[in-house]
Structure 1
Amino acid sequence: MKNFSFANRIQNINKMKSQDFDLVIIGGGINGAGVARDASARGMRVALIEARDFASGTSSKSSKLIHGGIRYLENMEFKLVFEALNERGRLFEMAPHLVHPLRFMIPLYQESRVGMGKMGLGMWLYDALSLFQAPEMHERLNAKASIEHMPAIRPNNLLGSYIYSDAYMDDDRLVHETMRSANENGALCVNYVKATGVNFGPDGKIQSVKCEDQHSKENFTVKARHVISSVGPWTDELGESIFKDWKKILRPTKGIHLTLPKHRLPLTSAVVMGAEKSDRIVFGIPRHEMIIIGTTDTDFKESPENVTTTPEDVKYLLSITDHYFPGANLTAHDIIASYAGVRPLVADGSSTEGKTSREHTILSDDRGITFVAGGKYTTYRLMCEQTVKAALKFFTFEERVTWSKSNTVTPLNPYTSVDAFQQAKVQADVWAHETGHSVEDMRLLAERYGMEGEEILNKYSSDMTYWQLEAAQAIDSTMCLHMRDFFARRVPLFLADRNHGVKHMEEIGTVFQEKLGWNEARLKEELHMLTEYMAREVEWKKHF
């Protein structure tokens, strides 16, 4: 695939200054990346700007699940669940290196809101809405079988459980791979470029987007025939900055997650907790490198930049987990890290945060902009296709015909098709033998990159450590410009390593220094920004 690096960023900015674009997309999370991929695949001229790092907002702060959303059945949101389960199947094919099948357990107790009978009906409906195409159908277990399946679960008053299938994924890397695919199609995408406003023409329609390079502080404009807003929880903020008559559409809610070492909570599958007397659900999710506990769901009135994990958030999630796994004796000291994000839910008048719909909204304004907000991560591809179709209404009939066909169900990366991914897992031991890297490292490389792992090994020095290979790949192929972005959104070091990958800082820093031309002072500054970021993310630990 084409490079997507710091050098490409400079080239793309220069092109943005001089070219006209059919679409200018503001926001580089999953929806922005998906719209860029869809529109560029149709043949449209596309530019995308992101004020921070790609996926730095909500798109890297999810529960990292690809799922239909079993609890949405209780809200009668059958269409949403059907779409999500259909898209789940597509994502298994599009990105097998990022989306992995996972079994989930829902334990039910005498005091649970939902009994075994009603939950059983929900399970059959869930499988039916997936057209019975789940990796495995659901199972019903009695109390004894449930304890055999999950020995650590609380046995008191346990009625039984249901086991069903969904998936876990790497949310940040899904954005990067989607962005790379858009880049491959010819879209010009850049990070650390902020939209500061728009220029209107004599007809009252948007002509261009005002931009500021957050690195050089240079101001420039990008000419746009139409603008797409995909800024998630910043939607109302952007809307108010453009239109005086903007009416707020969001009900932002805060969600936080905790990460644990796998040995501290022996989960044999994912577990659905908190289904007692509230409409909140808390997941315990075992992944290849860590366990994630989350999430909370509370209204959040502040700017999304200010979202943080509080001691109260941590206590809440620990109390739920302790209720289900009292023998684990988890404390705050067991937690490796946390992350907090803001969901851009669309206000629908619901009585609680949990009841607020996860449906997305697409709003087009005749002044030349289309807003997309809300929605589930799982349905991003479909949302983006619908967003582009909404924007096409502003173009001529001939152009709509020319750009009518989109094919975004193909693999995001040709090196990670289902067949290529399986081939890489077979080849991993051979790579270890040929390169001298450990078998463990090469299996991890194959798991994360498919057959692109072979390209990475051929492209970079054989003297590089595993994490140096990761850094080089991130810089050259995901426009990674800062070390904090690498630790936070390219690899799981911060979230999964007990010491947040600190012992690898020096070796990774040498790669950034060489590739991005940093002097010693700049490297020192980057390391300082990284340590500050880490301290800020786990500041709540001071209270325990």
Structure 2
Amino acid sequence: MRTRDLTRLESAVHDVLVVGGGIQGLTIAYECASRGLTVALVEAGDFGGGASFNHQKTAHGGLRSLSTGRIGRAREAIRERRALARIAPWLLRPLPFLMGTYRSAIRSRVALAAAFKVDGWLGRHRNDGVEPELHLPAARLVSKAATIALFHGIRRPRLTGGAQWYDYQMVESDRLTIAFAAAADRAGADLANHVEALDPLKENGRIAGMYVRDGLTGRTFAVRARLTVNAAGSRAGVLMAAFGILNACPLLKAMNLVTSKRASDIALAAPAADGRMLTLVPWRGRALVGTAQSRALVDPDDTAVRGSEVDTFIRQANAAFPALDISRADVTLVHRGVVPAQIGRDGVAELRPDPEIVDHAAQGAQGALTVIGVKYTTARGVAERAADAIGKRLGKRLSASRTAVTPLPGAAIADHEALAIEAARAARLEVPTPAIGHLIALYAEATPRVISLMAEREGLRAPLVATSDTIGAEVVHVIRSEMAMRLTDIVLRRTGLGSAGHPGRAAIERCAEIAAAELGWDPARTAAEIDALEKVYLIE
């Protein structure tokens, strides 16, 4: 990615200004830029730092939609799951799921067999154009004995067997988000994180961009655009209000628990006491449990983790997965985000099922459009539809979309190991095989750049601490090449150092030391960056 340069944002009038750098905003920026529009994007925090950081690292194919008869939604999920496998095969792996079947109307073997038959027909092209190692087997029913053997602690009364299906796990989900940012940058979009949108810029009765503030310096300036796209996630309602649109945007808090408990290679699904389906997913050898949601509506900035919320979720998880037996001490990180909701027929708030694209011209806000996404998996498809609407509004004929088949930077399958070994040999540097494996898993074809930094500076060759795989050169690389501007950017969403739990104070301090030298932080700023990171792991 190019260096963060705010002059690119303020020196030209762009076709499109995207406000919000989560997965939905990034895919819109990528889609629009790749189809010929000039694009700027601002994100108040870090790319993928909100709800995009909070998910179960799974690309779902839409089986749950079939249970409610939403065929179109299931078809879209299958199509977009395949698109991710085509454009980011390096960052995905097939993951089997298992749930019990029971003598009941909804979860009986007959009901699941029927759902699997429909899913098989909808997904008959699921492996077209996908690397062979990512081909997904067909869903199937399994015996009661096999289910009991694979799903330890499964509820036995009325159990008749099991249902198994496959989806994709995003092995490094935050790297996938950064890959979309890199793709948008490669297509010519001007991106900037830590830039907050403040108020609309209005000219001749229409919205002509946004006044924004650089979160690193406090400087305020204008970004001009022919169309402003509100993809601000939890703050979409706040931005709509700034446009003069008072649409209701209810929100819920969603949470996933990263634990220190070991997990097998199969994901499990079971209902919580209230009937909502929970899943236990293996990730980096740990059990990742989700997704819980708040019962009451929340404010956009309510991302604090309260002990009472975690304890309630733990009780639900242990009821669904008795063999897990987790306690507060086993929770290493609480992934959380504020997500779109709706009020159900019974008056209870629930997760919003469908995305929405709203052109505000008819509501008196010419030059503004809002996109509300609901799933990471389908963000690219929503972005394609949004770009179509944007092109129509701007009166421009856009080129055909290619984002469903064009590999993302750092996400394509190649012999990255051989390239890394050759780079080390050329630099006359001895890089251990495990270190190369670690680097290519994260940086793929960019690994030679990390090795070059190791060759230039001996102090960057060693792990940050003896218990960590992350080396000093990674910290410098993500600052220079991936727009990591804060310690949280580096530790949580670039290197993965702390994405599964607190990496230890020594690792944090060493990472901060390297970042301070690279970014020019003084001791007070360095201490503030460390404090901000520590708060991520805090349970109130």
TM-score by length of 2: 0.88
1:262-411 alignment, distance < 5 Å:
264-274=261-271, 278-345=274-341, 352-354=348-350, 357-366=352-361, 367-396=366-395, 400-401=396-397, 403-411=398-406
SS of corresponding position for 1:91: helix
Q: Find the aligned partners of 1:215 and 1:64 in 2 and give their Cα distance.
A: 30
**The one of 514, 517, 536 aligned to 1:514:** 517
Displacement of 1:450 in angstroms is: 2.1
My pick for the range that moved more, 432-441 or 479-488, is 432-441
Q: Deviations over 1:420-477 (max 9, x none)?
A: 1xx1256677888974343333212222222322332134446323332332222122
Q: Deviations over 1:286-317 (max 9, x none)?
A: 01353210111335533221133333432333
The residue type paired with residue 174 of structure 1 is L
Distance in structure 2 (CA, Å) of the matches to 1:390 and 1:303: 29
- Contact kept, 8 Å, 1:105 with 1:164, in 2: the verdict is yes
The structure-2 alpha-carbon separation of the partners of 1:195 and 1:88, relative to structure 1 and needing over 3 Å to count, comes to same
Task: For residue 90 of structure 2, give the secondary structure of its aligned residue in structure 1.
Answer: coil
Please tell me whether residue 196 in structure 1 is matched to residue 198 in structure 2. Answer: yes
What code does the residue aligned with 1:473 have?
H
Deviation string 1:122-181 (CA, Å, 9 cap, x unpaired) is: 122222222252611112111111123344545554321111000121443322211111
Asked if the contact 2:98–2:163 (Cα under 8 Å) also holds between the matched residues in 1, the reply is yes
Aligned pair in 2 of structure 1 residues 190, 428: CA closer, same or farther (>3 Å)? closer
Residue 75 (str. 1) matches residue 68 (str. 2): yes
Give the Cα–Cα distance (whole angstroms) in 2 for the partners of residues 279 and 328 of structure 1.
19
Contact 1:338-1:495 within 8 A present in 2 as well: no
- The separation in 1 between residues aligned to 2:46 and 2:187, in whole angstroms, is 21
1:456 counterpart SS class: helix
Per the TM alignment, residue 193 of structure 1 is displaced from its structure 2 partner at its CA by 1.2
Quote the residue 1:174 is aligned against. Answer: 176
Distance in 1 (CA, whole Å) between partners of 2:486 and 2:408 is 24
Range 509-518 or range 16-25, more displaced: 509-518
Relative to 1, partners in 2 of residues 1:40 and 1:132: Cα closer, same or farther, differing over 3 Å? closer
Q: Deviations over 1:495-523 (max 9, x none)?
A: 424x4343312331232122112233332
Q: Greater helix share, 1 or 2?
A: 1
Match of 2:475 in 1: 471
Match for residue 507 of structure 2 among 486, 504, 508:
504
Match of 1:413 in 2: 408
Residues 105 and 270 of structure 1 are in contact (CA less than 8 Å); yes or no, is this contact kept in structure 2?
yes
Structure-1 residue corresponding to 2:7: 14
Q: What is the CA–CA distance in structure 1 between the aligned matches of 2:79 and 2:368, rounded to whole Å? A: 29
Residues 133, 407 of structure 1: alpha-carbon distance in 2 compared, 3 angstrom cutoff = closer
Q: In the alignment, residue 184 of structure 1 is paired with which amino acid? A: R
Structure 2 partner of 1:542: none
TM-score, normalization: structure 1? 0.87
Residue identity matched to 2:369: T
The answer to whether structure 1 residue 100 and structure 2 residue 102 are counterparts is: no
Alignment partners' CA distance in 2, 1:77 and 1:317 = 28
2:531 corresponding residue in structure 1: 528
The equivalent of 2:256 in structure 1 is 257
Q: Is the 8 A contact 1:100 1:168 kept in 2?
A: yes
Q: Give the Å deviation of 1:488.
A: 2.4
1:31-110 aligned within 5 A: 31-110=24-103
Determine whether 1:129 maps to 2:122.
yes
Secondary structure of the corresponding residue to residue 21 of structure 1: strand
**5+ long unaligned stretches in structure 1:** 540-544
Deviation at 1:109, TM superposition (A): 4.0
Q: Report what 2:131 is aligned to.
A: none
Q: Is this contact kept in 1: 2:20–2:230, CA < 8 A?
A: yes
Instruction: Quote the offset at 1:75 in angstroms.
Output: 1.9
* More off after superposition, 221-230 vs 290-299: 290-299
> How far apart, CA to CA, are the structure 2 residues paired with 1:228 and 1:311?
37
Cα shift at 1:113: 4.8
Q: Distance in 2 between matches of 1:376 and 1:412?
A: 20
Distance 1:414 1:521, change over 3 A: closer
With 343-352 and 40-49 compared, the bigger mean Cα shift is at: 343-352
- Kindly provide the amino acid, as one letter, of the partner of residue 266 in structure 1: A
Change (3 A) 1:94 1:364: same
Against the structure 1 CA distance between its residues 166 and 351, is the aligned structure 2 distance closer, same or farther, given a 3 Å change threshold?
farther
Q: Distance in 2 between matches of 1:76 and 1:345?
A: 20
**Residue 256 of structure 1, CA deviation:** 0.7
Task: Give the corresponding residue for 2:133.
Answer: none
Query: Residue type of the partner of 1:63?
Result: Q
SS of 1:338 mapped into structure 2: strand
2:246 alignment counterpart? 246
Report the equivalent of 1:439. Answer: 433
Question: In the TM superposition, what is the alpha-carbon distance from 1:327 to its structure 2 partner?
Answer: 3.8
Could you tell me which amino acid in structure 2 is paired with residue 382 of structure 1? Answer: G
Identity of aligned residues (%): 23
- Greater Cα shift, 92-101 or 380-389: 92-101
Q: What per-residue deviation string (whole Å, max 9, x for no partner) do you get for residues 361-411 of structure 1?
A: 100022111110033211111111111111112223xxx22x232321244
Contact 1:346–1:373 under 8 Å retained in 2: no
Contact 2:297 2:349 in 1 (8 A): no
Q: Distance in 2 between matches of 1:246 and 1:114?
A: 41
Distance 1:313 1:271 in 2: 22
1:259, 1:495 within 8 Å by CA — same for their partners in 2?
no
Which residue matches 1:480? 484
Report the Cα offset of residue 491 of structure 1: 3.5
CA distance in 2, matches of 1:161, 1:425: 39
Q: Is the CA contact (8 Å cut-off) linking 2:257 and 2:288 kept in structure 1? A: yes
Whole-angstrom distance in 2 between the partners of 1:326 and 1:301: 29
Aligned to 2:498: 494
1:199 alignment partner, SS class: strand
